[in-house]
Structure 1
C-alpha cells in the first residue's frame, strides 16, 4: 500500500487537525461570485470610459474653494491686530511658545559646549545606563566633529519644545480617549486625518496664523507628532488589567487615585513608548520647518538641495540620524529600567554626580570649533559624480522606460476619466472588496476632489502615487520575505532600515535629483526609498508571527519553500501585509508632496507654491486638502479590506 501525504496546507499537529486550507475555505466560497462581479465591473467601467472619456481639461485657476481660502487669508491679514481671536488667542499662543523656545534655548546653550555634552551624557547614564551615556557622549561629539554643532543644538531646542507641548496635550487627551467613549470616538477621525495629512500641508495654515519662525515651526511639529502621543497613551491606559482596577476600587480608591496610583504607573512603559515615538516624529518634522524660516539642520539640507550638494546634505542627515539614535536610546532604555535595577537613593546619587560633572564641564571654556573636524561631503560628492558619469545610460533608460511605459499611460487614463465615473468605480469596487461603509467614505473623498477644483492635478498625483506604491510593495515585500527567511540578512539590513527611517525626507531628494534630474520619476524614486523601510519591517514581522507549529507541520507534509510561502505564510500574514500597504501609501503620499520641490508637479507643486507664493495660498491649501482626500480614499480601500470580517 502506498502512503499518501495530505495536501499542502492540510496537516495535523499533535493529533489535532490543523487545516490551513480549511481556515480559508469560508472566504473562498465567496471568491467565485466576487470574481464574476469584478469582471462585470471591469467591463462596464471600460465601456463607460470609452463612451464618456474627456479631453482632460486643465484645473480652474479661480475655483470656488480657492476664493474661499484666499478670502480667509485676506480676513486674517486684515484682522490680525484687531480681532479678539488673535489679540487674546493666537497671539498669546505664539507668545507662550516663543517663551518656551527661549527657555529651552537658554537652558541648553547656557551650559556651553562641554557642559551640554556632559549634562546629556550624565542624564542618559542616570536614566538609561552607562552604555547609553557613552553613546550620548559620542553622538554629540560627532555632531561637533561634523562642524554642525550650532545647527544640531537649534534642532534639539525645537524638538524638545515640540515634544514638551505634545506630551502636555497628548497624554491627558489619551487618558480621556481611553476612559470616555465619546471622546475616543470623536478624536479617532481627527487623528486619522492628522496622520494622513502630508507634512507640507501644515506649513501654510501655520504661517497664516502664527507667521514664520520658531513658534510656527514648533506648533506645526506638535500637531504632526501629537497623534502618536494620544493613540499610544490611550492604548496603554486601556490595557491596564480590569482586575487590578477593580481591586483598587474595592479598597476605596477614588477616580483620581485610580488614575494617579494605578492606571498611569501600570501604563508607564507604554507612555514612555509614546514619548519615544513623539520624539522621532518631531525630529523629522522639525527639519521640514526650515522652509518657514526655522533654524537648525533643516536649513543646511534645504541649502544643499538648492545647490544639489549631496555631500553637504549627507553630513546634515547624518547629524539628524545621530540625534535621533541618541534620543531614541535614552527614552527606550529609560523605560526598560525599573526600581529593581537601581534604588531611589542610588538614583539620587547619580543625579547629584551628573549635576556636578555638568557644572564642572560648563566652567571649561572649550568650544565646538576646537574639536577636530571631518566632513564626508567631498567623498560623497565624488561618488555621486562617478555614478552620474558611468551610470547615465542606465538611469536615463530606467527613467524614460517607466515614465513612457507605465506612468504616462496611467496618467492619461486617470486624467481623461470623467469624475463621476471615477467616483462610481471607487464606490463599486470598494463595496466589492471592502464593504459598503469603507466604499462610501472612499467615494465621498473621491467626489471631494473635483469640488476643490483640482481634478486634473489630483489624478496626476494619483498616477504617481500608484506607480510608487507598486514599486514600493514589490521591493518591500521581496526584501521582507528574504529577511524573514534569513536571520543573518535581517541582522545586516536592520541598521540600514533604522537609519533610513530616521533620515529626513529631504535627504532622499538629493541622490534622486543627482541621478535622475528634476522630474516626476525623481519624486517616485525618493518616495520608494522613503517608504520601503517600514514595508520591509512590517512584512518581515508578519511572516515571523506566523505560528511556528503551522510552518513545521506544512514542511513535514512535504511543502516546498515556494508552497510554504504562497499557501501558508503569506495567507496567514495577510493582516501584516495589508498594514504594510497602508503605511506605504501614507509615506508615499507624504514624499510625493516633497517631490514638488524637484519637478514632480501636480498637487505637490501646488502645496509648495501655496506657502511660498502669496497669490497661490488658496490653491495650495486646497491642494493639501486634496492630498488628504486621496489618502483617505486609498486608506479606506486597503484598511476596509483588512477590517472587513470574513466568514469563519
Structure 2
C-alpha cells in the first residue's frame, strides 16, 4: 500500500468518536516513555525516593556493620593527638615567644580589665570589703544611661530590673554578666562598625569578609569554647573572646546593610557639590543609617548576653554559673530564679537599645526638619538636656554615697524574693510533674519511640559509607553541586574526628526537633499570614521567646521531662519555633494580592488557597524558615548535652570537666562545626534554588 493511501487511515477522529470507535485505543504513549517523561518532570522527588529506598535497603541488610561506634572512654589517634596538643600548649605558655609576648599579654590585659571593673561595680576591691561603687550608685548610673539614650520609660524599666537582680539574690553575678556583655559589645562596636562601613563601600572587601562572617554565624557556640580555652586559658578572657566571635557578625552585616541602603540619588547630589568620600560618609551615610546601626548594636548585645551565659563552661563570670550549677544538680527552683534574672536582663537590654534606635531616628528626622519645626524642637531639646544634666548630678551623688556608706554599698539581704520564689517554683514543678506525669511520660515515650529511636537507628546503625553516600545524594538533589562538594568535605571532617556515630545521633535528634519546628511554624505562620488579629496576638509571644537566651529554655524542659534526649528536643523546639514562624508568616503575607484575588474569584476554598496558592508562592520563605529553624535547633540540641541530650553536646561538656576527655570533647566541637556547616549549606542552596524557580 502506498503512502498516499495510508494517510487517511491515520487521521484521528474528532470529539467523542475518538474514544467510542470500536477496535481503537487512545493515542497515548506506551508505558516506558510515559514513565521516563514523568521521571524527567519530577526528577527530584523520584531521585530522593530512589536514594531512600537504596539507603533503607542497605540499613536493613547491614544494620550495625561499619557504624564506627566509639566507646565512652575510648579515644582515636586523632583525639589522643589533640590531648598532646593541649599538653604542648600548656608547656608553650612558658616557653613560646608568641604566647609570652602576644597571647599572654592580651589574656592578662582582658582578665585584668574585667577584674578592675568587677572591683568597681560588683566584687570586693583591694582594701575594701565592698566594690568601689555600691549598689545604689550602680542603679543610679545605669538608670541615667537609659534616660540619656532611650528616655524615661527605659530608665524606669532599667531601674526596676536592676533592683530585682539584687532581690533575687544574684546581684554580683548579674553585674558581672553586664560587665562581660558591655565589654564584648564595646569591642565589637569598635571593630565591627569600621568593618561594616568598609564592606558597604567596597564590594571586594565584602566578598572577602562575608564567608568568614558566614562561618562565624554557622558555627555552634559550643564548637569554639574548647579551642579558645586552649589558647586563652580558663577565665574571663576566653569567655569574652568567645562572646565577641558570636556577637560580631550581626553588627557587621547590619551596619553594611544600613550604609549601603542610603539612597544613591542622595549620594550623587552630595558628591556633585564637591564633598569628599569622607565627608559623604560622616555627613550623609552615617546619619541616615544611624537607626539601622543602632539595631545592629541591639542584635549584637542580645547575642553577647546569650553567649555570656554559655561561656560559664569556661569559667566566664556571671549568671551562667548559677544556672549551670542548678542544672547539674537538677535544682529547678534555683535554675528558674537565675534564669529569670537572665530573662529580665535580656528584656531590659532589648527594650532599651530598641528605644534608643527609635529615638535616634526621631532625632535624625528632627534635624532634617523645616525651620519652623526647629523652633519648636529647640525648647524640647533644651528641656531634655537640662533633665539629663540634673539626673547626672543625682546619679553622681548616689555614686558618692554608695562609695562612702556600707549600707548603700552592699545590697541589702531583704527583701529576699529569690529563696521563696525558688521554693514556690520547686513546689509547683513537683505538683506539675506529679499531676501531668502521665501525659509528659506518654509524650516523651511516644516521640522517642516513633520518631527519635527509628531515625537514630537508621542514621547511626547504617554503614558509615552508606550514610555518607545518602547524605551526598540528598545534598546534590536538593541543593546542587556546590552543596554536594561542601557535604563531602564536612563528611571527611566528621570521619576524621572519629565521632561519626555520635554525629549521626546528634543529627537524628536535630532532624526530629527541626521537623516538629517546621510543622508548627508552617501552621502558625499560615494562620498569622492570613489573619491580622492572630498575628497581633501571636507575634508578641514569639518576640518574647526570641528575647530569652537559649540557656534558659533548658529549665522548664528539664522540669517537665527530666534529663533525657527529649528534654533537649523540647528546649530546641521552643528556641527554634519563633524565628521559623515569623519567616513563614512574612512569606505568606508577601504573596501577591492579585494572585489571591484571582484564586478567590475562581471559588477556591480556604484550604485550596493555602495549599495551591499561598504556600507554593511562599516556598522560598518556607525553605528559609527550615534553614533557620534547623540551625537554631542544632545549637540547642548541642546545649541539651547538659541535661541528658547525649551525642556531641555531651562529649563537649565532658571534655571540659574531664581532662582525659579533652581531645574527645575538642573533636566533638569540630564535628559539630562540620555538621552545622553541612546543614547550613544544603538548606541555603536549596533556599536559593527553590526561590529562583517558579
TM-score between the two structures when normalised by the length of structure 1: 0.89
2:636 maps to 1:614: no
- Quote the Cα distance in structure 2 between the aligned partners of 1:634 and 1:515: 30
Q: Which among 32, 45, 60 is matched to residue 35 of structure 1?
A: 45
- Quote the Cα distance in structure 2 between the aligned partners of 1:129 and 1:521: 44
**Alignment match, 2:103:** 90
**CA contact 1:312–1:377 (8 Å) conserved in 2:** yes
Over the aligned positions, Cα root-mean-square deviation in angstroms equals 2.5
User: For 1:37-95, what per-residue CA distance to the aligned partner results, in whole angstroms no more than 9, with x for missing partners?
Assistant: 33433344444555665523423844343244223212211110221211121112112
Q: Secondary structure at the match of 1:369?
A: coil
- Quote the Cα distance in structure 2 between the aligned partners of 1:551 and 1:112: 61
**Alignment match, 1:69:** 82
**CA contact 1:308–1:510 (8 Å) conserved in 2:** no
- The offset of 1:463, in angstroms, is 1.0
- The offset of 1:465, in angstroms, is 0.9
User: For 1:392-418, what per-residue CA distance to the aligned partner results, in whole angstroms no more than 9, with x for missing partners?
Assistant: 222222222222222222212212323
The number of equivalent residue pairs is 621
2:410 maps to 1:374: no
**CA contact 1:422–1:446 (8 Å) conserved in 2:** no
Q: Which among 396, 409, 428 is matched to residue 441 of structure 2?
A: 396
| Mean Cα deviation higher: 157-166 or 399-408 | 399-408
- The offset of 1:564, in angstroms, is 1.7
Q: Secondary structure at the match of 2:42?
A: helix
- Quote the Cα distance in structure 2 between the aligned partners of 1:387 and 1:516: 11
| Mean Cα deviation higher: 281-290 or 401-410 | 401-410
**CA contact 2:58–2:466 (8 Å) conserved in 1:** yes
**Alignment match, 2:258:** 236
2:212 maps to 1:190: yes
Superposition pairs of residues 163-178 of structure 1, within 5 angstroms: 163-178=185-200
**Alignment match, 1:605:** 650
2:519 maps to 1:519: no
In structure 2, the CA distance between the partners of 1:413 and 1:242, relative to structure 1 (3 Å rule), is same
**Higher radius of gyration, 1 or 2:** 2
Q: Which among 54, 58, 66 is matched to residue 69 of structure 2?
A: 58
User: For 1:439-488, what per-residue CA distance to the aligned partner results, in whole angstroms no more than 9, with x for missing partners?
Assistant: 22123222321122111111111111111111222223223333334444
- Quote the Cα distance in structure 1 between the aligned partners of 2:659 and 2:277: 51
**Alignment match, 2:390:** 353
**CA contact 1:123–1:351 (8 Å) conserved in 2:** no
Greater relative contact order structure (CA < 8 Å, 6+ sep)? 1
- Quote the Cα distance in structure 1 between the aligned partners of 2:253 and 2:644: 36
In structure 2, the CA distance between the partners of 1:370 and 1:487, relative to structure 1 (3 Å rule), is farther
Unaligned runs of 5+ in 2: 1-37, 123-131, 368-376
- The offset of 1:503, in angstroms, is 2.5
- Quote the Cα distance in structure 2 between the aligned partners of 1:220 and 1:647: 39
2:287 maps to 1:265: yes
2:221 maps to 1:202: no
2:334 maps to 1:328: no
Q: Secondary structure at the match of 2:94?
A: coil
- Quote the Cα distance in structure 2 between the aligned partners of 1:127 and 1:515: 41
**CA contact 1:123–1:354 (8 Å) conserved in 2:** no
**CA contact 2:328–2:643 (8 Å) conserved in 1:** no
- The offset of 1:108, in angstroms, is 4.2
**CA contact 2:111–2:235 (8 Å) conserved in 1:** no
TM-score between the two structures when normalised by the length of structure 2: 0.84
**CA contact 2:306–2:551 (8 Å) conserved in 1:** no
**Alignment match, 1:626:** 671
